[in-house]
Structure 1
Amino acid sequence: MHPVRTLASLSVLALATALAGTEAASAAPTEAATAVRWTAAWSASPQRPSVNFTPNWSGQGFADHTVRQSARLSLGGVAVRIRLTNTYSPTPLTVTGATVARSAGGAAVRHGSLRRLTVGGASTFTIPTGAELASDPVPLPIRALDSVTVTLYYAAPTGPATYHAQAMTASYRATGDHTADQRATAFTESTSSWYHLAGIDVLGTTCRRDGVALFGDSLTDGYGSTPGADNRYPDELAERLAATAHPRAVLNQGISGNRMTVDSAWLGDKATARFHRDVLNQPGVGTVIMLAGINDIGMSEARQPLAAPYTEVSTAEIIAGHRDLISQAHAKGLRIIGGTMPPMKGSRYYTPLTEAKRDEVNTWIRNSGVYDAVIDFDRALAWSTDTEQLDPAYDSGDHLHPNDTGYRAMADAVNVTDLD
Structure 2
Amino acid sequence: MTTKTTRTASTTTVRRTTVALATAAVLTALQLGGAVASEQRHESGPWRGAWATSPQSPTAPFGPNWSEQGFSNHTVRQVVRVTTSGTKARIELSNRYGTTPLRITGATVARTDKGASVKAGSVRQLSFGKGRSVTIPAGGTTYSDGVPFAVKALESVTVTLYLAAPTGPATFHTFSSATSYRAAGDHRSDRDGTAFTETSDSWYYLSGVEVSGGAAARRDGIVTFGDSITDGVGSGLNANNRYPDELAERLAAAGKPRSVLNHGIGGNQVVNDTTWAGEKGIERFKKDVLTEPGVRTVIVLEGINDIGGSGPAFPGGPTAEVSAERLIEGHRELIRQAHAKGIKVVGATLTPIKGSFYESETNEAKRLAVNEWIRTSGEYDEVVDFDRALDPKGEGVMLPAYDSGDHLHPSDAGYRAMAEALDLDEL
RMSD: 1.9
Matched residue SS, 2:225: strand
Residues 57-96 of structure 1 correspond to what in structure 2 (within 5 A)? 57-96=66-105
Deviation per CA, 1:148-185, whole angstroms, max 9, x where unpaired?
Answer: 11100111100000000000011010000000101010
Does the alignment pair 1:208 with 2:218? yes
Equivalent residue number for residue 136 of structure 1: 145
Change (3 A) 1:7 1:357: closer
Is the CA contact 2:73–2:163 (under 8 Å) kept in the aligned structure 1? Answer: yes
- Select 1:311's aligned residue among 298, 303, 320: 320
2:202 to 185, 193, 202: 193
Q: Kindly provide the CA deviation profile for residues 106-125 of structure 1, in whole angstroms up to 9, marking residues without a partner as x.
A: 11111111000110110111
Name the counterpart of 1:413: 421
CA drift of 1:6 comes to 6.3
1:214-253 to 2 correspondence within 5 Å? 214-253=224-263
> In 2, are the aligned partners of 1:383 and 1:392 still within 8 Å (CA)?
no
Partner of 2:395: 387
- Are the counterparts in 1 of residues 180 and 203 from structure 2 also a CA contact under 8 Å? yes
Aligned residue in 2 for 1:340: 349
**Aligned-partner SS, 2:80:** strand
Contact 2:18/2:40 (<8 A) preserved:
no
Partner amino acid, structure 1, of 2:338: A
* 1:309 Cα offset (Å): 5.2
Aligned to 1:177: 186
Asked whether the equivalents of residues 68 and 149 of structure 1 are also in contact (C-alpha less than 8 Å), the reply is yes
Alignment match of 2:304 (pick from 294, 308, 311): 294
SS of structure 2 residue aligned to 1:333: coil
CA distance in 2, matches of 1:111, 1:97: 19
Amino acid at match of 2:294: G
Number of the residue aligned with 2:404? 396
The answer (yes or no) to whether the contact 2:310–2:318 under 8 Å persists in 1 is no
Q: 1:304 deviation in Å?
A: 3.5
Local SS of the residue matching 2:289: helix
Taking the TM superposition and a 5 Å limit, the aligned residue runs for 1:75-154 are 75-154=84-163
1:105 deviates by: 2.3
Match of 2:376 in 1: 367
| Paired residue total | 393
Calculate the TM-score normalised by the size of structure 2.
0.89
Q: CA deviation at 1:363?
A: 0.2
Name the aligned partner's letter for residue 186 of structure 1: A
How many Å separate the matches in 1 of 2:313 and 2:45? 49
Distance (whole Å) between structure 2 residues aligned to residue 36 and residue 139 of structure 1: 16
Amino acid at match of 1:49: P
Segments of 5+ residues of structure 2 without an aligned counterpart are 1-16, 20-36
SS of the aligned residue for 1:174 comes to strand
- 2:182 match: secondary structure: strand
- Asked if 2 retains the 8 angstrom alpha-carbon contact of 1:36 and 1:205, the reply is no
By how many angstroms is 1:202 displaced? 0.7
Structure 1 residue ranges (4+ consecutive) displaced by more than 4 angstroms after TM superposition: 1-4
Q: 1:106 is aligned with what amino acid?
A: G
One of 169, 183, 195 as aligned partner of 1:160: 169
Cα-to-partner distance string for 1:252-294 (whole Å, 9 max, x where unaligned): 1000000011111211111000001111100111100000000
Using the TM superposition, give the Cα deviation of residue 37 of structure 1 relative to its aligned residue in structure 2, in angstroms.
Answer: 1.7
Residue type of the alignment partner of 2:38: R
Q: Could you tell me how far apart the structure 1 residues matched to 2:364 and 2:39 are?
A: 46
1:359-409 superposed Cα distances (whole Å, 9 cap, x missing partner): 00000000010000000000111053x621001110000000100000000
> What is the DSSP-based 3-state SS (H/G/I as helix, E as strand, rest coil) of the residue aligned with 2:96?
coil
Q: What SS does the corresponding residue of 1:149 show, helix, strand or coil?
A: strand
- Partner of 2:401, secondary structure, is helix
Is 1:265 the counterpart of 2:275? The answer is yes
- The answer to whether residue 14 in structure 2 is matched with residue 5 in structure 1 is no
Cα distance in 2 for residues equivalent to 1:388 and 1:344: 7
> How far, CA to CA, are the matches of 1:72 and 1:352 in structure 2?
40
Contact 1:36 1:204 in 2 (8 A): no
Task: Answer yes or no: is the 8 Å Cα contact 1:300–1:312 preserved in 2.
Answer: yes
Shift of 1:191: 0.5
Q: CA separation in 2, counterparts of 1:199 and 1:304?
A: 29
Instruction: Give the conservation status (yes or no) of the 8 Å contact 2:95–2:170.
Output: yes
Shift of 1:97: 1.1
Structure 1 stretch displaced more, 106-115 or 308-317 = 308-317
Check 1:286–1:263 CA distance in 2 against 1; reply closer, same or farther (3 A cut): same
Q: For 1:48 and 1:7, how far apart are their aligned partners in 2?
A: 21
Question: Aligned ranges for residues 20-31 of structure 1 at < 5 Å?
Answer: none
- Percent of matched pairs sharing the same residue: 54
Q: TM-score, normalised by structure 1?
A: 0.90
Distance 1:36 1:299, change over 3 A: closer
8 Å contact from structure 2 (residues 402, 414) kept in 1: yes
**1:280-316 C-alpha deviation (Å, 9 max, x unpaired):** 100111100000000010112344442x452111111
CA contact (8 A) 2:349 2:387 kept: yes
